[in-house]
Chains A and B, each alone.
Chain A
């Protein structure tokens, strides 16, 4: 083994301590307390691709983006547009309503999918299908389905109940509600699986012990499931909030911003209105950057949580 190490790094003598210690440990020591010689070069070489990707495609574009949006006059230009303020309201409502509904539904439904029986298993297989379907096909289907004149939803309402459904995408709040519902359709299954895994990770002994103490269903939920899943729930909420601020597909395909650009969020507005076909999409960057004050505190909390709680998604 000493031979080995020497062939790895002929130029360097072994550290005295390591040479004195048992051989196996000496090897570990070199490994853990910093690699040496060619090994270290290898490790660095392994890291090069990711570091390169990060610098070229994250750090550089982010810095460039900040530079693009650094002129203050851009913001007064953005703020003077009434559509901008509508969009801010939309973004806030989208985050507040969609995130909480989505994670809460996932928590409740994961309880349902914990039930025994083949048909619950079969239903779960079906339930996760939206997760596997690419967003674009799913959303254009929903877009057409919500068409006021020819859509499946209103046709079904008429055929089954003789009710005239509204034109779902033609008013601001119905359109917005449709965006939220579509996002729920696509992504609640994913979060259900996450919550389901969280529930399954709760040791069954805890539930059994509670059973002995006479706990019933609701108490199991309130005193075991909720506290055990609290951290996961929080992390999921934060992550989804951040994802939603950057969500482009849902508003873009469901309402396309209509009617009269009243249903976009900041991310969509910046891209569609101020970026496409522009040589200098500075206003687009500025629009999107105004959402940063919303995101940064969330990111800080999330980073802390992820590091301490070992919750990963």
Chain B
């Protein structure tokens, strides 16, 4: 009796299993083809504007106004012109580039400094009513940048801060610090408070604890926030555009945009300039990509 039931079971089970396996394999293949197609679409979508900017930067002037989808004669001539400041609107390119770099560095530095001091006082020293500051910072984070811009512009005029890079630095630090405070507070929760306690028992003052314990332990979060602040400064156009109008105080994006609306925009030169301008943040981003992603979601997205 038992053998026959087992046989029947086997006889019906075998084709069943085969069919299930076949269906599963077919579904697997379809899913793979589907995701490969989606992958190709995403790749074309992402690469389109990038291909465009590189292609135009390699083209000759007449070639720009043609109908080809690849450069007829690819040349690095435009890059050479940019690097040697060999065109009249690029007279101050390196000066402007240095100013952009200075802006990025200053915004990063002050964001890290102010953000880490604030979050140290709130989450490590646990000052009373620290949550008020946290909430106030949260409020800043949700004020759209272009809303503050107009009064800011007006006030900069009043205080003689026009064409002063520090006005831009102040504005961008204001927008970057709230985020830094959140990330630092979240991250510092993972550092045992006992470290601070034992240092205090050994007679360390708060500034010592901040410098010797807090900052080294926070290194990953500092890197994440630093990258964020640098990208924010490099992304900004509005404040630089409003506050820096003088040729002697311009940054790269402001100088570049001046030629966007002129009659004979040298597109290939503009694209070459834009590529050079975009390289530092790209390099920084890919250098710290892992840290940055971790930082963005740190303590965060548990839902």
Contact = CB atoms under 8 A, between A and B. Distances in A.
B177 A53 contact: yes
Given A131-B285, A248-B146, A46 B117 contact: yes
B271 interface: yes
Main secondary structure of the interface of B (DSSP, over half): helix
A159 B67 contact: yes
Nearest to B275: A137
Interface string A212-256: 000000000000000011111000000100110111110011001
Interface stretch (A11-19, A30-38, A76-84, A169-177): A30-38
Contacts of A137: 53, 274-275, 277-278
Contacts of A230: 303
A140 B148 contact: no
B191 interface: no
B242 interface: yes
Contacts of B205: 38, 42
A21 interface: no
A233 to B, nearest CB: 9
B147 interface: yes
Given A42-B121, A44-B121, 4 more contacts: A58-B143, A127-B46, A137-B278, A197-B301
A158 interface: yes
Interface of B: 35, 38-39, 42-43, 45-53, 55-56, 64-69, 113-115, 117-118, 120-122, 125-128, 133, 135-140, 142-155, 157, 170-171, 173-174, 177, 181-183, 186, 197, 200-201, 203, 205-207, 210, 231, 234-235, 237-238, 242, 253, 256-257, 260-261, 267, 270-271, 274-275, 277-278, 281-282, 284-286, 289, 293, 296-303
Contacts of B260: 140, 143, 253, 256
30 contacts: A35-B125, A46-B117, A46-B121, A53-B174, A54-B137, A54-B140, A57-B152, A57-B171, A61-B148, A62-B151, A64-B155, A68-B154, A123-B39, A123-B42, A126-B43, A127-B46, A129-B282, A133-B281, A134-B231, A136-B235, A136-B274, A156-B69, A193-B296, A193-B297, A197-B301, A245-B147, A284-B150, A285-B150, A309-B303, A312-B183
Nearest to B302: A201
Given A46-B118, A245-B144, A60 B238 contact: no
A9 interface: no
A302 interface: yes
Contact of A271 (B48, B125, B149, B234): B149
Interface in A181-229: 185, 189, 193-194, 197-198, 201, 228-229
A50 B38 contact: no
A284 B152 CA distance: 12
A234 B50 CA distance: 31
Contacts of B303: 198, 201, 228-232, 309, 311
Nearest to B284: A132
B270 A140 contact: yes
A115 B35 contact: yes
Most chain A CB within 10 A, of B146, B237, B274, B299, is at B146
A34 B293 CA distance: 35
Contact of B146 (A119, A130, A271, A311): A271
Nearest to A4: B203
B138 A306 contact: yes
B232 to A, nearest CB: 10
Interface in A117-163: 119-120, 123, 125-138, 140-145, 149-150, 152-153, 155-156, 158-159
A119 B203 CA distance: 54
A312 B299 contact: yes
A144 B256 contact: no
A293 interface: no
A50 B53 contact: no
A43 B206 contact: yes
Contacts of B157: 279
A204 to B, nearest CB: 15
B67 to A, nearest CB: 5
Contact of A64 (B135, B154, B253): B154
Most chain A CB within 10 A, of B154, B201, B207, B296, is at B154
B38 A112 contact: yes
In the A-B complex, the 7 residue pairs with the smallest Cβ-Cβ separation, listed nearest first, are A246-B144, A137-B274, A132-B285, A197-B297, A65-B151, A141-B53, A46-B121
A291 B278 CA distance: 32
